[in-house]
Structure 1
Amino acid sequence: MNNVKLHFTEKALRLIAQKATAKNTGARGLRAILESILTEAMYEIPDVKTGSDRVDAVVIDEESVGSASAPGCGGKILRGEGKC
């Protein structure tokens, strides 16, 4: 909707699956995990501006996800024209 790219690293996808497995959750649990990782980005993206303030992409890596028992730092927001 907002023309923002979303990128996941292979390791991040595996960590997300491990978290879901550790919590013994189904699709709703997986959704909750993704929402916790993307919360900040979900609030930043609708306020899209132009130029260097514009959100161009969100990158999810292993640091964003954290471990099976600890939360990560959340998605990394890339701003500005042509960042991704």
Structure 2
Amino acid sequence: MANKESSSEPLKCSFCGKSQKQVIKLIAGPGVYICDECIELCTEIIEEEKIDSIENTDEVNLPLPKEINHSLNEFVIGQNDAKKTLAVAVYNHYKRIYKDDTIKDD
């Protein structure tokens, strides 16, 4: 079976033009090649776009402490001070989780 590529011509990345000897890994696609460096660059670009899209979206609609308190009223009778404290704690916990998720994406 004949090889499509000529053996005298080294394989090159279709994006940056570096030869197979200049990079760590060269991955073949249908008629194209991409090196590990271009893959890394593409990954960085995609991650930056993800962060930008997260920053551009409105903040998550967290339930307010009043709404959490209202939900607690459906299940707990009395203990209003405890429900109020718990509602604020849950709200703050949600905020912390959301903030940590956006920081980890960086």
- Band of TM-score, shorter chain: under 0.3
Structure with the higher helix share, 1 or 2:
2
**For the pair shown, which has the larger CA radius of gyration, 1 or 2?**
2
Larger RCO, structures 1/2 (Cα 8 Å, 6+ apart)? 1
Structure with the higher strand share, 1 or 2:
1
Q: TM-score, normalised by structure 1?
A: 0.27
